[in-house]
Amino acid sequence: MNRAVVYYSLSGNTKEAAKVIARKLGAKIFEIDLVKPLPKNTVRQMIVGGMQSTFGRRPKIKGVPDNIDYYDEIILGMPVWAGMPASPVNTFIKNYGVADKIDAVFTFSGGGDNDRCLLQLSKSLKNLKNQVALADRNSNAAKDNQEKLEKFVMSIK
């Protein structure tokens, strides 16, 4: 089976987890990047990113190979913006037609709204079998991330 970990990361939380997951599963790893970056100011990032996610915008992305359909299984990682999947992830799912190949997702939130995001994802990802909600590394809840990540990887193997 050919596996890929595809992720979008703004602050580095998702990137760190994606590396761990890819290494433990022997999967290829691809980072979704924005063609037009978000503003550098954190508050403006939250406003722009939150608005994009809330209103279902799909910004132009890069970093995903054209042959992503080569992979049988995709594990998708993202930050949660305004209780929704980060907008670059929405672009990836829609533009690359990979919804049926995504069977596992991992999310990061600083505000505890992972459940809402996972519920939203489960509507479009019909083969979703494994999911884990992780906390931003600056949150007190992040102390459980390592254990949650280990269980997540084991559920995929």
CATH dotted code for 3-156: 3.40.50.360
Report d(CA 101, CA 72) in Å as an integer: 6
Report d(CA 16, CA 72) in Å as an integer: 23
> Shortest CA distance to 153 belongs to which of 131, 138, 127?
131
Report d(CA 123, CA 39) in Å as an integer: 30
pTM over 0.85: yes
Helical segments of 4-144, H only = 13-25, 42-54, 87-96, 114-124
87-146 confidence digits (pLDDT tens) = 999 999 999 999 999 999 999 998 777 888 988 899 999 999 999 999 999 888 899 999
- Burial annotation 42-53 (CB, 10 A radius, 16+ → b, else e): eeebbebbbebb
55-98 confidence digits (pLDDT tens) = 777 889 999 999 999 999 999 999 998 888 999 999 999 999 99
Residue-range domain boundaries for the chain: 3-156
